[in-house]
């Protein structure tokens, strides 16, 4: 019997919009009727319903079969899933104090709910019986994969532990869920806490007029009249550093970013959360029989082990250091020309690096940005490339409710006119949005559940001043293509089971389809179609286009160095045993960097631990390496496609068929080898990044 979680002061089941599927196309969320008070009762009722469904499966008197156990599990939790997908999209993209309160309240409850399923001994007994007889005829490849993954996930959750060990596992999981939620909320608040307010517009010398106007509006929105606000949103590096001529202000902005989360001046201190998370993860791994969390986390990934990851990364380090040192020589020379005799500082690198780029390639960001107006980039760049490759089209619609006025919604059609699903584009930064860029799903595709995908892409592009065009950097252009790679991975999903849909693949494979799409941003046909001056309507001059493409290789030493430095910090945190957790976060970071010769002060890690959301709240713990691991596949696949004729429907259809449509229905590397005809060649990565082994 299911007991409703609703009470007298909450909405009844009949008027809670989550208690039944949305009546909008593809079950898109109806934000005209969804209120913050709907989430808690939907979560409570959703968990109760799913546990009732699970209990019915676990106590089924019939002998276990794939259909009455594994497939039956795939059908459970519809209400909970529906409410969670909307909720977690909003807590990332448009949160509020109330949503954060709900998230903090329910994080441990969700962890307990997951444990109640995966530590259900009767249910695991049925799964175990099926797994013991998995080689008997009857299962297709996708079903076999689902059975194996289900069994593995239950074992890795602690299904084979003793009762006392399972209780400790529950305690650990509950605490981790609370800590990661707190870390995420803290980072969002840190971005506000550490924003730099400038009172004198003269200090902003070097910034374009549209960016100065946007900074003024941002300051006014925070109550700072006659001031200018420079936001801190994501990485240690702050993009505005390329433009600020005032060195003291550059240092101030960089320090505001680099020393987030350390409790300075009574501010937010994330270091205790970092240490406790490292401790709890190590203890959880030990309970399950692993020497450390990294070994546990990497077991189901394509990399399989920390040794494989470290082997690949350390092989890259010498050429990365060499390239970065060559870049530093050029940057120091520019500093000397400016009369600066100091050592190269991290707040100098971006600024003088941009000057070197401008000098070597005759590139001025203010000259280039007018050719990258965000709407044209999206419609005539990203959408155009997707149509050329896959035959799909995007048509904007204005009749569906939005969770924020800046969001746009598009119908996505296949070449035959059949609708694949819906695509939401949410590109501008705001205080209610966490930093970075990502893809999420309101609905995932499944033939079993007869659902089509509803996909969301989120970026953090600085909004323009009112009435001004949104001109973006080429880096943001690339990010738009990257996130569309995730989007088509979800949109093209063509699988039976929801748990295998779209991006439900290993963490170190999921970034492959997204990184692959990045290179189409610089394909001459694509770039020429969207790089149009927003005022004159003239296409980007061919010689400027050539310079933009050529300049992409510059500063790759820096880019790769800061990424690898963060990756090594991630790995070192998660290689610790439960009795090896340090007391000093900064000292541990420094030792980790020194261990791999990545301790050059001028190039700090892309993220420091206190704001490293990927690994302390975002699901990439011991997996931040996944970006470059996936990039090996992406560079190799792009090179292979170029050899086969490049931007053609035949190439796109083959890639869609072998990779994008299959989700997690087969082993990830088997899919890749079937597509490529062999293993990837790492040399394509080195060429893509402009890194050449000595």
The span from the CA of 1 to the CA of 8, in Å, is 20
Mean pLDDT, range 298-314, rounded to an integer: 96
The predicted-structure confidence for 422-443, as pLDDT tens digits, reads as follows 999 999 999 899 888 999 999 9
Asked if 525 contacts 648 with a C-beta cutoff of 8 angstroms, the reply is no
Contacts of 226 (CB under 8 A, 6+ apart): 199
Q: For residue 661, which of 488, 525, 517 has the smallest C-alpha distance?
A: 488
Query: Which SS3 state, helix, strand or coil, does residue 221 take?
Result: helix
Q: Report the range of poorest mean pLDDT among 379-383, 454-458, 676-680.
A: 676-680
The span from the CA of 628 to the CA of 312, in Å, is 10
552 vs 593, residue with greater confidence = 593
Token pair for residue 270?
Answer: 């994330």
Asked if 487 contacts 120 with a C-beta cutoff of 8 angstroms, the reply is no
Give percent of the chain with pLDDT exceeding 70. 98
Given this model, what pLDDT does residue 635 score? 95
Token pair for residue 437?
Answer: 């860029």
The Cβ of residue 317 has, within 10 Å, a number of other Cβ atoms equal to: 17
The span from the CA of 536 to the CA of 376, in Å, is 14
Would you place residue 3 in the very low, low, confident or very high pLDDT band (cuts 50, 70, 90)? very low
Would you place residue 692 in the very low, low, confident or very high pLDDT band (cuts 50, 70, 90)? low
Given this model, what pLDDT does residue 7 score? 40
The span from the CA of 292 to the CA of 285, in Å, is 6
Q: Report the range of poorest mean pLDDT among 41-50, 462-471, 632-641.
A: 462-471
Token pair for residue 340?
Answer: 């600066």
The predicted-structure confidence for 548-563, as pLDDT tens digits, reads as follows 888 877 888 999 999 9
Given this model, what pLDDT does residue 580 score? 97
Alpha-carbon separation of residue 628 from 291, 303, 421, 477 (angstroms) = 25, 12, 30, 19
Q: b/e for 153-190, b at 16 or more Cβ within 10 A? A: ebbbbbbebeeeebebbbbbbbbbbbbbbbbbbbbbeb
DSSP-H helix ranges across 194-292: 209-221, 247-258, 271-287
Alpha-carbon separation of residue 317 from 312, 548, 587 (angstroms) = 9, 27, 22
pLDDT of 11 strictly over 70: no
Q: Residue 451 pairs with which residues in a beta bridge? A: 446
Asked if 371 contacts 350 with a C-beta cutoff of 8 angstroms, the reply is no
Residue 683 has φ and ψ, to the nearest 5°, of -60, -30
Would you place residue 12 in the very low, low, confident or very high pLDDT band (cuts 50, 70, 90)? low
For residue 228, the 8-state DSSP code is: E
Give 673: exposed, middle or buried? Use CB within 10 Å, 0-12, 13-18, 19+.
Answer: middle
What percent of the chain is helix, strand and coil (3-state, nearest 5)? Answer: 60, 5, 35
Would you place residue 109 in the very low, low, confident or very high pLDDT band (cuts 50, 70, 90)? very high
Mean pLDDT, range 56-84, rounded to an integer: 98
Give percent of the chain with pLDDT exceeding 90. 86
Q: Residue 440 pairs with which residues in a beta bridge? A: 456
Mean pLDDT, range 317-333, rounded to an integer: 94
CB-facing half-sphere around the CA of 60: CA atoms within 13 A: 21
The span from the CA of 694 to the CA of 692, in Å, is 6
The predicted-structure confidence for 230-254, as pLDDT tens digits, reads as follows 998 789 999 899 999 999 999 999 9
pLDDT of 577 strictly over 70: yes
From the CA atom positions of the chain, what is the Rg in Å?
A: 25
pLDDT of 568 strictly over 50: yes
pLDDT of 259 strictly over 80: yes
Domains within the chain, CATH numbers bracketed? 13-118+120-157 (1.20.1050.40), 183-326+553-622 (1.10.1370.10), 369-552+628-688 (1.10.1370.40)
Would you place residue 186 in the very low, low, confident or very high pLDDT band (cuts 50, 70, 90)? very high
Asked if 285 contacts 292 with a C-beta cutoff of 8 angstroms, the reply is yes
Hey, which residues are catalytic here? 483
Asked if 94 contacts 430 with a C-beta cutoff of 8 angstroms, the reply is yes
How does the average pLDDT of the chain come out, rounded? 94
The span from the CA of 98 to the CA of 495, in Å, is 36
CB-facing half-sphere around the CA of 419: CA atoms within 13 A: 13
The span from the CA of 513 to the CA of 8, in Å, is 48
Asked if 228 contacts 219 with a C-beta cutoff of 8 angstroms, the reply is yes
Mean pLDDT, range 111-140, rounded to an integer: 95
Given this model, what pLDDT does residue 545 score? 82
Token pair for residue 62?
Answer: 């019939």
DSSP, residue by residue, 340-380: --SPP-HHHHHHHHHHHHHHHH---HHHHGGG-BHHHIIII
Would you place residue 13 in the very low, low, confident or very high pLDDT band (cuts 50, 70, 90)? low
- pTM greater than 0.85 (yes/no): yes
In which residue are the tokens 């931040």 written?
A: 624
The span from the CA of 379 to the CA of 11, in Å, is 41
The span from the CA of 327 to the CA of 557, in Å, is 7
């Amino acid at each position: 019997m299911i007991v409703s979680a609703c009470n007298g002061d909450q909405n009844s089941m009949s008027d809670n919009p989550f208690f039944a599927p949305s009546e909008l196309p593809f079950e898109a969320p109806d934000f005209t009727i969804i209120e913050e008070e709907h989430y808690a009762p939907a979560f409570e009722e959703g968990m109760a319903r799913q546990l009732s469904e699970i209990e019915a499966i676990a106590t089924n008197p019939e002998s276990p079969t794939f259909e009455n156990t594994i497939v039956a599990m795939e059908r459970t939790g519809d209400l909970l899933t529906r409410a969670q997908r909307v909720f977690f999209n909003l807590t990332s993209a448009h949160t509020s104090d109330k949503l954060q309160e709900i998230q903090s309240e329910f994080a441990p409850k969700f962890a307990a709910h997951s444990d109640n399923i995966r530590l259900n001994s009767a249910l695991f007994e049925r799964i175990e019986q099926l797994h013991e007889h998995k080689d008997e005829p009857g299962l297709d490849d996708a079903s076999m994969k689902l059975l194996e993954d289900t069994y593995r996930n239950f074992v890795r959750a602690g299904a084979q532990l003793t009762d006392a060990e399972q209780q400790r596992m529950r305690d650990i999981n509950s605490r981790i869920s609370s800590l990661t939620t707190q870390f995420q909320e803290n980072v969002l608040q840190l971005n506000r806490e550490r924003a730099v307010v400038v009172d004198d517009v003269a200090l902003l010398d070097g910034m374009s007029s549209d960016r100065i106007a946007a900074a003024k509006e941002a300051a006014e929105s925070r109550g700072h009249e006659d001031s200018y606000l420079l936001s801190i949103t994501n990485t240690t590096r702050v993009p505005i550093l390329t433009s600020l001529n005032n060195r003291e202000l550059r240092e101030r902005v960089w320090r505001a970013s680099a020393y987030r989360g350390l409790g300075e001046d009574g501010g937010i201190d994330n270091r205790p959360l970092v240490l406790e998370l490292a401790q709890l993860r190590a203890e959880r791994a030990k309970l399950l029989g692993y020497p450390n969390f990294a070994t546990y986390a990497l077991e189901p990934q394509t990399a399989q082990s920390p040794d494989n990851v470290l082997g690949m990364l350390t092989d890259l380090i010498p050429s990365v250091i060499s390239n970065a040192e060559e870049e530093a020589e050029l940057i120091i020379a520019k500093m000397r020309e400016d009369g600066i005799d100091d050592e190269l500082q991290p707040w100098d690198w971006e600024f003088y690096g941009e000057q070197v780029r401008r000098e070597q390639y005759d590139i001025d960001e203010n000259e280039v940005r007018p050719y990258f107006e965000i709407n044209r980039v999206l419609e005539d760049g990203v959408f155009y490339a997707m149509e050329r490759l896959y035959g799909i089209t995007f048509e904007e619609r204005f009749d569906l409710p939005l969770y924020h006025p800046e969001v746009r919604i598009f119908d996505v059609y296949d070449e035959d006119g059949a609708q694949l699903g819906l695509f939401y584009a949410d590109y501008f930064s705001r205080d209610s949005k966490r930093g970075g860029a990502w893809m999420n799903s309101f609905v995932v595709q499944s033939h079993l559940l007869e659902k089509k995908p509803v996909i969301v892409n989120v970026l953090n592009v600085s909004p323009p001043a009112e009435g001004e065009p949104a001109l973006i950097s080429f880096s943001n252009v690339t990010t738009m293509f990257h996130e569309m790679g995730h989007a088509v991975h979800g949109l093209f999903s063509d699988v039976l089971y929801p748990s295998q849909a779209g991006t439900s693949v290993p963490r170190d494979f999921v970034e492959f389809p997204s990184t692959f799409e990045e290179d189409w941003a610089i394909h001459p046909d694509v770039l020429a179609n969207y790089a149009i001056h927003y005022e004159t309507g003239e296409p980007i001059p061919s010689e400027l286009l050539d310079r933009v493409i050529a300049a992409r290789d510059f500063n790759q030493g820096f880019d790769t160095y800061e990424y690898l430095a963060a990756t090594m910090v991630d790995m070192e945190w998660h290689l610790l045993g439960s009795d090896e957790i340090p007391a000093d976060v900064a000292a541990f970071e420094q030792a980790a960097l020194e261990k791999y010769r990545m301790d050059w002060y001028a190039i700090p890690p892309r993220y420091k631990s206190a704001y490293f959301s990927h690994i302390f709240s975002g699901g990439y713990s011991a997996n931040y390496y996944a970006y470059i691991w996936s990039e090996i596949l992406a560079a190799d696949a792009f090179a292979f496609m170029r050899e086969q004729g490049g931007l053609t429907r035949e190439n796109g259809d083959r890639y869609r068929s072998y990779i994008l449509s299959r989700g997690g229905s087969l082993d990830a590397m088997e899919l890749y080898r079937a597509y490529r005809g062999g293993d990837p060649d790492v040399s394509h990565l080195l060429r893509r990044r402009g890194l050449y082994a000595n």
